[in-house]
Amino acid sequence: MPTTASAVHPLTDVTASDSTLRRFLHGLPGVDAVGLEARAASLGTRSIKTTAKAYAIDLAISMVDLTTLEGADTPGKVRALGAKAVRPDPTDRTAPATAAVCVYPDMVAVAKEAVAGSGVKIASVATAFPAGRAALDVKLADVRDAVSAGADEVDMVIDRGAFLSGRYLKVYEEIVAVREVCGTAARLKVIFETGELSTYDNIRRASWLGMLAGADFIKTSTGKVAVNATPPNTLLMLEAVRDFRAQTGVQVGVKPAGGIRTTKDAVKFLVLVNETVGEDWLDNHWFRFGASSLLNDLLMQRQKLATGRYSGPDYVTVD
């Protein structure tokens, strides 16, 4: 299986200048919105039942980046979240742990302690999340904070203003700089805020830009705007990582985030993965869900499959 490597591949020279980068990104195949949305919708009609559903639910749980990104976050709240990530269903120890806990940089140390020894990763949104409107020094300091506090993964936002005004090289250089700070200590997830990029062509270009700059994951959104992860934008990003691997041999993960709340939704995303990039991406090293409320629905559906009965929200924990 190809593994993530730093940005040394046949496409390295396209980032030589703003104009070569622009030419490359604008030379990518276009996206027909109607066709993309139709494909995503048709995959959404797959009927997943019984054993396949049980498999999908456990897989989805293991892919959740259990997230709290509130101004009101406290150590107590983060510790509770960590405990839940490690043992999502206290009544059924066969439920898998989530992939990670995702917090602001100042909470990384607390989260790290809460999940110690469990294998659950700590992801931190750095780089002046969610707007990203700060000087590069500030963003890098934010990342440095997170990494030194023990973050295994850094979720960075791109400068959408620079992207939309066509300053692709600036966006590229920022990602490279953050990538350098992450070093080998942390995997880097690059968040595009697809709702703000607005067009599918932009999302494909951003995906390639992020991958060229050395992203380990490309991520749809912050969860803080109106339009977050959707089946079409995730399908498009899956196509991008697939094509990128075919050209460079480098495999990049995908993380839809925001707005995925139900098991039904999560299963639809897994079908997209399964039928677009296949089993190489069907584990939590390569695919994640950024979510705060999805886990409970997955657990309730899991209990229903196991017992034949639907118990209700008081049978799962509120954290």
Partner 1 sequence: MASVFEYAPAPESRSVVDIAPSYGLFIDGEFVEAAEGKVFKTVSPSTEEVLSEIAQAGEADVDRAVAAARRAFEKWSALPGSERAKYLFRIARIIQERSRELAVLETLDNGKPIKETRDTDLPLVAAHFFYYAGWADKLEHAGFGASPKPLGVAGQVIPWNFPLLMLAWKIAPALATGNTVVLKPAETTPLSALFFADICRQAGLPKGVVNILPGYGDTGAALVAHPDVNKVAFTGSTGVGKEIARTVAGTRKKLTLELGGKGANIVFDDAPIDQAVEGIVTGIFFNQGQVCCAGSRLLVQESIQDELLDSLKRRLSTLRLGDPLDKNTDIGAINSAEQLARITSLVEKGTAEGAEPWSPECELPSSGYWFAPTLFTNVTQAHTIARDEIFGPVLSVLTFRTPDEAVAKANNTQYGLSAGIWTEKGSRILAVANKLRAGVVWSNTFNKFDPTSPFGGYKESGFGREGGRHGLEAYLDV
Residues in touch with partner 1 (CB under 8 A): 29-32, 34-36, 38-39, 45-53, 55-56, 59, 236, 239, 246, 270, 274-275, 278-279, 282
Residues in CB range of 318: below 8 A, 6 or more apart = 296
Taking the complex as a whole, the smallest distance from the CB of residue 274 to partner 1 amounts, in Å, to: 5
Clarify whether 155 is annotated catalytic.
yes
Q: How far is the CB of 203 from partner 1 (least distance, A)?
A: 13
What's at 50, amino acid-wise?
A: T
The minimum distance between CB 311 and partner 1, in angstroms, equals 23
From the list 219, 265, 297, 319, the catalytic residue is 219
Out of 65, 255, 265, 268, the active site residue is 255
- Is the Cβ–Cβ distance between 156 and 126 less than 8 Å? yes
- Contact between 103 and 69 (Cβ < 8 Å): yes
By beta-carbon proximity to partner 1, the closer residue of 103 and 236 is 236
Length of the chain: 319
Nearer to partner 1, 59 or 107 (CB): 59
Check 155, 216, 265, 319 and give the catalytic one. Answer: 155
Asked if 220 contacts 255 with a C-beta cutoff of 8 angstroms, the reply is: yes
Closer residue to partner 1 in complex, CB, 43/299: 43
**CB-side neighbour CA atoms (13 Å) of 288:** 36
| Least distance from partner 1 to the Cβ atom of residue 32, Å | 4
Residue from 230, 231, 304 nearest 46 by CA: 231
CA distance 150 to 108: 7
Q: Which helix (H) or strand (E) holds 123?
A: strand 121-125
Active site residue 201: no
Minimum gap (Å) between residue 271 Cβ and partner 1? 8
How far, in Å, CA of 229 to CA of 248, rounded? 26
Q: How many CA atoms lie within 13 A of 217 on its CB side?
A: 29
Query: Smaller CB distance to partner 1: residue 68 or 263?
Result: 263
Catalytic-residue membership of 255: yes
User: Which residue number, 17 or 42, has a Cβ lying nearer to partner 1?
Assistant: 42
Residues that are catalytic: 155, 219, 255
